[in-house]
DNA sequence: ATTCTGACAGCAA
DNA sequence: TTTGCTGCCAGAA
């Protein structure tokens, strides 16, 4: 009955996209937070991998709102121009200093808490 | 099928 | 304190 092998529309990647799109404007989250929300707290690397394919999605994925747990813009190199990610965040009212989100703790948006 | 990689995170020295 | 290694998991070659 259960389509065990059937690949459901909600893949890990799709799940990551959905959560990422839920990140409010002017807020940021971490790969680990998303990974934990998905149920695999230590698969943070997969989140980044998924976001790597986010450009493949027809929807706009605010991947620039996803940084590592240090608030560091680790994925900025994947936005074409390395400064694009920081500029996007600054455009949303965030402050980027030394490729790092200032007041990261303040701007941090945890899907575990916000989406419960 | 096997091997390698990857936008991280946690822990050890 | 910083630096480095390991674990994690899924997709790509």
In this predicted model, what pLDDT tens digit does every residue of A17-60 receive, in sequence order?
Answer: 999 999 999 999 999 999 999 877 788 999 999 999 898 888 99
How distant is C1' of C11 from CA of A4, in Å?
Answer: 19
Task: Name the pTM for this structure.
Answer: 0.89
**Alpha-carbon span A98 to A101, nearest angstrom:** 8
Find tokens 């948006």 and name the residue: A109
Tens of pLDDT, residue by residue over A99-114, are: 999 999 999 999 999 8
The residue with tokens 């703790």 is: A105
| Structural domains in chain A plus CATH codes | 3-115 (1.10.10.10)
- The Cα A12–Cα A5 span in angstroms is 15
Which tokens go with A48?
A: 């980044």
Q: Residue A2 CA to nucleotide C5 C1', Å? A: 41
A12 touches strand C (CB under 7 A): yes
Strand C nucleotides, any atom under 7 Å from protein beta carbons: they are 7-12
């Amino acid at each position: 009955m259960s389509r065990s092998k059937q690949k459901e529309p909600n893949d890990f990647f799709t799940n990551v996209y959905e959560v990422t799109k839920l990140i409010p404007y002017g807020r940021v989250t971490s790969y680990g937070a998303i990974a934990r929300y998905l149920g695999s707290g230590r698969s943070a690397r997969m989140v980044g991998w998924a976001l790597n394919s986010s450009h493949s999605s027809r929807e706009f994925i605010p991947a620039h709102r996803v940084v590592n747990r240090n608030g560091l813009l680790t994925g900025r190199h994947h936005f074409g121009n390395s400064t694009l990610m920081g500029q996007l965040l600054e455009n949303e009212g965030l402050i980027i200093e030394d490729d790092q989100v200032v007041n990261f703790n303040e701007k941090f948006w945890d899907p575990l808490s916000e989406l419960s």
